[in-house]
Amino acid sequence: MRKSYQVWLPVFLVCLLTVAASAQSFQVQCPTTTITHPTAAIAEPAYTGATTFTTGSAGYQTPSSHVNGAIKCQQISGGDGFATMGDGTQTYMFSFGPLSGLASIAAGQPGTAFPSEFNTTPSSPLVPGDPATNGNPFNGAVGLMPETYTDPNTGLPVTRMNGHVDPRQIMDVGVMNGNIPAPLMAIDEDDEFFLTLTNVGQVMRPDLFEQHTVHFHGYPNASAFYDGVPDASVAINIGGSFTYYYLAPDAGTYFWHCHITPPEHLQMGMVGQIYVRPRQNRVSGDLYTALGNQQADPRTACGRTGDGHVNAATDILCSNPLPAVNTSAVGGGKYAYNDGDGSTAYDVEYPLQIHGFDPNFHFVGMTFNPEGFTDMKDKYFLLNGRSYPDTVTEGPMMTQTTDGSNHFSQPLPSIINIPAGKKALLRISDLDVTEYQTLASLGIPMQVVGINAKLLRDQAGNNLSYKTNSITLAGGESLDVILDATGYTAGQVFYLYTPNLDHLSNDAENFGGLMTEVRITN
Amino acid sequence: MRATNMKKTNSMTRVLLAPMMAVALLLLTATAFAAAPGITGPAFNLTAQPAFTTQPDGSLVYSWGYGCASAPSGFAPAGITGTCSNMQVPGPTLIVTQGNTVSVTLTNGLPVAAGNTSILFPGFNVTATGGVAGLLTQEAAPGNPVTYTFTATTPGTRSYYSGTQGDLQVEMGLYGAIIVLPAGVPAACTTGVHANNLTAKAANQVHAGTEGDFRLAAAAYNHAQACYDREYLFQFSEMDPRIHRQAEEQSTRTCTGCMNVATEPYVPAYFMINGRSMPDDMDGNYAPQYPHQPYNGNPHMHPGELVLLRIIGQGRWQHPFHEHGNHVRVLARDGNLILSATDANSLAGPLLFTTTTTPGQAIDGIFYWTGKGLNWDPYGHGASVTSATCTPDANGYNTGAPTAINYFEWCQDHNKPLQAFPFGDVAGGGPATLPNPNILANGAWYGGSPYLGPEATVRAVGSTGTTPPSGTVANSPTDEAGFAFMWHSHNEREITTNNIFPGGMMMMMLVDPWVYPINEAN
């Protein structure tokens, strides 16, 4: 019999704080202004130079000009759900689900929103399974509602959106709405990101009182408090919300996952993707000059060795030195990194997350039985939560959960559509729990431009990107690949597949698994 | 007595941590950390012997390992009191200096039934004398010696391991590391900021403990970017206890070299760092309860210190070793510096947040943590009487006064609040609001507040932090209050010990404030 206190050494706190925190449990946070972004914004400002600061009366620096980035918010549920495997099996999972950006997520887009969109209420109440149930195109925070209270200064009633949440909406939408991969997130460099994790409990496992956390994997100079490792900080209990706060790290392809009992929670599906767009995307002029402008802010500076800036020789982890060759490239496009020479330019982008499910482990995870970690063996191989041929099925996949409601369990197909002559950026991450997996490209070479969310460039500014036909990743690794469709014609179809040929299967089904299609379009 | 206990824990996957943690925590309060200890030569007199190694599940596993046949020339570093028994896993770390003529005499003390044994030293031009001819090198017949001689031509970290029946002998534990220190180090590594770091350590200790210099050298290579302030050696390996049990059963046979152990199928149940699984790896170096597993994995560092990671893959599987907290700049592979093709002063090794280990391969990398870019003051400074000043150097850090309590603080965020409301003595006005503390669960390595250091933590939440009284936790709010990060294999199945989580390839890395003495002595 499983013991109820058997969680990762919880030490429940006796409240000694003098903080004036709200007494409620569910709460979302999405301020419209902060110290770093003092003006409410609904779009990313163009990047014209590094932010300049003045020290205010409170003793800390505030921006005086060139405010870059904006505030972005998202809410997710931590709980459970069901997904459909390549052989049609409905499989139980622990998972994160969307509690904001529902319409965007169902459309295969990131669910990250500006406060102006996040802090809204739906036109009609959401019901279990939404948006799969009634297609309600709502992108705000689920459950957020105005709160009326008495202003202590004036004595008058005030109605305001201040993070107050209606728990019924949260539970209606959040219970068993798990997604695999977890809700997609995307932010820009210089953004402040408020991610609220709301623990709605795991309906299929009433014996577990699981906390959940969010670990943003790979963030440089992460804080322990927001790193999401329960042993090192705090984890959120059932019935509570915790808001992670981060200034966006350097541009790149990261990923995120729960860090509670990782061998269990990651295998069971609590894995997701996040990427950070470079400020170079907001540059319209000369890229080399713009990258040079970043040297003025020590936070973003990375010169070449000996060029007089904060540079590689003095910051050994500095990752974006000015390129050795000035290509006079001009901005206005989309780039994977602040390359300063246009070498990471692309036209369309696709996040791809590699994962694997062990069906025995998932069955045991639903039925209270002891879990074997040494015998863990994946039999389903997932790209964005699906196995071939589901990877090339358009639109979100729907799975019915045990309460009879339909949920969009797997919103992301993995179809790589590239217009002829254009380039696609594949943001590939892997959160497999047991083994390395290889993804190969038949027909179009892969150009690897970044590894582990860092541009491939040496400290002297030379580009170190390389061409290959396959990439190999283990859980905890990511990289960026550009597929160039120059010289290809519309209608051609190529394959991304795994040469781990036993992974081209859906459990006992002979053909399926880690495979998808690259389609050249008009 | 059964030496290998294969009984799986049927009743629980997450064992109640308290008994295991109690032992680890008691020893943690005795301040015993890591470094890269070993024996010095350059003549070494080794033997290969059988003995039992221990695992946190109480198992004793029959193993083979290298050890000292006679007292070594010496031990390094000076601050750590070393011993060298005749068997240890990993084998003794051999520490020599570039240019030394190294000779290693190996006497075969394995059971007669095991047959010959040997050592390979990849990366060196080895001449073997004595012994009997083997496939890969000269071997030592049972009870007899062989001598290997080579010149340590280049600095760096490399592996050594048995060249005889590797599938069995390496699995059984016959592997180790050899560290070649550079003949000369650049002046930059002993002056400037690195000299200031030594001053900062000596000046800031508020406890009786002293913090000496536990490095083997001031640089890993004679290269200006190979300077470091602290170093750790981590060797990754795994064990399938069924193989060890077969070897134990056959070890009593009287025929020479007739052991026939099946090493496939391979189902490891134990995953180790430096021969120990979590939490044993966080006990001290040369801890008496592990007589045959002297080395540990318990990294600590101060903000701003450059930490050299010597990472070796032993065993037969790759492991995605993930360092929370920042990226690692890879300096070298198998002792070969990775430099730019156009500028030998510039590094070209990748920046990785997951440093995959490969059997037989060694990586040298540099890591640091400073909190740069957090966008809030991790020391909880504010407009209060204890506010310190922060004067940025060219890179933005407070390095002018090594004796300052906030030495190496990232000045751009000085005084910037995190919390929206005042938190103890720490000012409000920040972007985030902590939820009701009753809905959070705290981890064993939680310092008690989001802030770094006892001064900041006590001001924010009082002397007990948000955790029970100090002395019962691994990161005391009044003593250490460091930022904890988990360093672990990201094949999450491998952070288990024989189906028990937590365990396996995991350790907690602590970023400790400069006031806290990191005492690597045992």
Residues in chain B with CB shorter than 8 Å from the CB of A243 are 432-433, 435
* Cα gap A119→A113, rounded to integer Å: 9
Q: Please, what is the Cα angle at B272 between B268 and B275, to 5 degrees?
A: 120
**What secondary structure does DSSP assign to A116-151, as a single string?**
HHHS---SS---TTTTTTT-----SBTTB--EEEE-
Asked if B352 and A236 come within 8 Å (Cβ–Cβ), the reply is: no
Residues in chain A with CB shorter than 8 Å from the CB of B464 are 16
* Cα gap A117→A144, rounded to integer Å: 12
Instruction: Please indicate if any CB of chain A lies within 8 Å of the CB of B220.
Output: no
Asked if A474 and B356 come within 8 Å (Cβ–Cβ), the reply is: yes
B314-332 average pLDDT score: 97
Asked if B491 and A432 come within 8 Å (Cβ–Cβ), the reply is: yes
Provide the 3-class DSSP secondary structure of residue B94: strand
B509 CB-near residues (< 8 Å, 6+ apart): B299, B300, B301, B323, B324, B325, B484, B485, B486, B487
CA distance A457 to chain B (A): 7
Residues in chain A with CB shorter than 8 Å from the CB of B412 are 53, 61, 298-299
Buried b (16+ CB within 10 A) or exposed e, B417-428: bbbbbbbbbbbe
pLDDT at B348: 96
Q: Chain A residue closest to B412 (CA)? A: A61
Q: Give the model confidence (pLDDT) of A49-106 as tens digits.
A: 999 999 988 889 999 999 999 999 999 999 999 999 999 999 999 999 999 999 999 9
Asked if A313 and B354 come within 8 Å (Cβ–Cβ), the reply is: no
Q: Give the model confidence (pLDDT) of B188-208 as tens digits.
A: 999 999 999 988 887 766 554
* Mean pLDDT for chain A overall: 91
> Percentage helix, strand, coil, to 5, in chain A?
10, 35, 55
Single-letter residue type at B130: G
Asked if A319 and B327 come within 8 Å (Cβ–Cβ), the reply is: yes
In the predicted structure, residue B369 carries a pLDDT above the cut 90:
yes
pLDDT at A3: 43
Question: Which of B9, B436, B490 shows the shortest C-beta gap to A25?
Answer: B436
CA distance B3 to chain A (A): 19
Q: Which of A259-263, B12-16, B434-438 has the lowest mean pLDDT?
A: B12-16
The more confidently predicted of residues B24 and B3 is B24
**Stated pTM of the model:** 0.93
CB pairs under 8 A between A and B: 366
Provide the 3-class DSSP secondary structure of residue A400: strand
B484, B490 Cβ separation under 8 angstroms: no
Instruction: Please indicate if any CB of chain A lies within 8 Å of the CB of B385.
Output: no
Cα dihedral A165/A167/A169/A172 (nearest 10):
150
**What secondary structure does DSSP assign to B297-333, as a single string?**
---EE-TT--EEEEEEE-SSS-EEEEETTS-EEEEEE
A7-22 average pLDDT score: 36
Asked if B394 and A263 come within 8 Å (Cβ–Cβ), the reply is: no
Asked if B434 and A236 come within 8 Å (Cβ–Cβ), the reply is: no
> Percentage helix, strand, coil, to 5, in chain B?
15, 30, 60
Q: Chain A residue closest to B9 (CA)? A: A370
Q: What percent of chain B has pLDDT over 90?
A: 74
* Cα gap B149→B129, rounded to integer Å: 8
Question: Which of A13, A227, A451 shows the shortest C-beta gap to B440?
Answer: A13
pLDDT at B439: 87
In the predicted structure, residue A307 carries a pLDDT above the cut 80:
no
In the predicted structure, residue B353 carries a pLDDT above the cut 60:
yes
Provide the 3-class DSSP secondary structure of residue B139: strand
Best residue of A221, A322, A472 to probe chain B, by most B CBs closer than 10 Å: A221
Pull the structure tokens for residue B66.
Answer: 């290298």
By DSSP bridging, strand B328-333 and strand B362-367 are antiparallel
Provide the residue count of chain A: 522
Instruction: Please indicate if any CB of chain B lies within 8 Å of the CB of A218.
Output: yes
In the predicted structure, residue A41 carries a pLDDT above the cut 50:
yes
* Cα gap A249→A47, rounded to integer Å: 16
Provide the residue count of chain B: 522
* Cα gap A229→B344, rounded to integer Å: 39
Buried b (16+ CB within 10 A) or exposed e, B199-236: ebbeebbeeeeebbebbbbbbbbbbbbbbbbbbbbbbb
Q: Give the model confidence (pLDDT) of B470-488 as tens digits.
A: 444 689 888 899 999 999 9
Pull the structure tokens for residue A371.
Answer: 């879990």
pLDDT band at B468 (very low <50, low <70, confident <90, very high): low
Residues in chain B with CB shorter than 8 Å from the CB of A371 are 13, 499
* Cα gap A263→B490, rounded to integer Å: 9
pLDDT at B435: 80
Q: Which of residues 227-256 of B touch A (CB under 8 A)?
A: none
**What secondary structure does DSSP assign to A41-56, as a single string?**
-SSPPP--S--EEEE-
Asked if A60 and B416 come within 8 Å (Cβ–Cβ), the reply is: yes
Strand positions, DSSP E, A38-111: 52-55, 61-65, 71-84, 90-98
In the predicted structure, residue A7 carries a pLDDT above the cut 90:
no
pLDDT at B383: 65
Best residue of B343, B351, B397 to probe chain A, by most A CBs closer than 10 Å: B351
B44, B94 Cβ separation under 8 angstroms: yes
Instruction: Please indicate if any CB of chain A lies within 8 Å of the CB of B378.
Output: yes
CA distance B392 to chain A (A): 10
B218 CB-near residues (< 8 Å, 6+ apart): B185, B189, B190, B194, B227, B228
Q: How many Cα atoms within 13 Å fall on the side-chain side of residue A202?
A: 27
> How many CB atoms within 10 Å of residue A4?
9
Q: Which residues pair with A157 in a beta bridge?
A: A150
| C-alpha torsion sign, points A127, A133, A134, A136 | positive
Burial class, A328, CB count within 10 angstroms (exposed 0-12 / middle 13-18 / buried 19+): exposed
B120, B137 Cβ separation under 8 angstroms: yes
Asked if A316 and B327 come within 8 Å (Cβ–Cβ), the reply is: no
In the predicted structure, residue A395 carries a pLDDT above the cut 70:
yes
Instruction: Please indicate if any CB of chain A lies within 8 Å of the CB of B495.
Output: yes
pLDDT band at A443 (very low <50, low <70, confident <90, very high): very high
In the predicted structure, residue A451 carries a pLDDT above the cut 70:
yes
Q: Chain B residue closest to A457 (CA)? A: B348
By DSSP bridging, strand A71-84 and strand A90-98 are antiparallel
Instruction: Please indicate if any CB of chain B lies within 8 Å of the CB of A332.
Output: no
Q: Give the model confidence (pLDDT) of A152-173 as tens digits.
A: 888 888 887 778 898 999 999 9
> How many CB atoms within 10 Å of residue B144?
14
pLDDT band at B10 (very low <50, low <70, confident <90, very high): very low
Residue appearing with tokens 């550009």: A482
Residues in chain A with CB shorter than 8 Å from the CB of B306 are 316
Q: Give the model confidence (pLDDT) of B59-110 as tens digits.
A: 999 999 999 999 999 999 998 999 999 999 999 999 999 999 999 999 999 9
Residues in chain A with CB shorter than 8 Å from the CB of B241 are none
Instruction: Please indicate if any CB of chain B lies within 8 Å of the CB of A229.
Output: yes
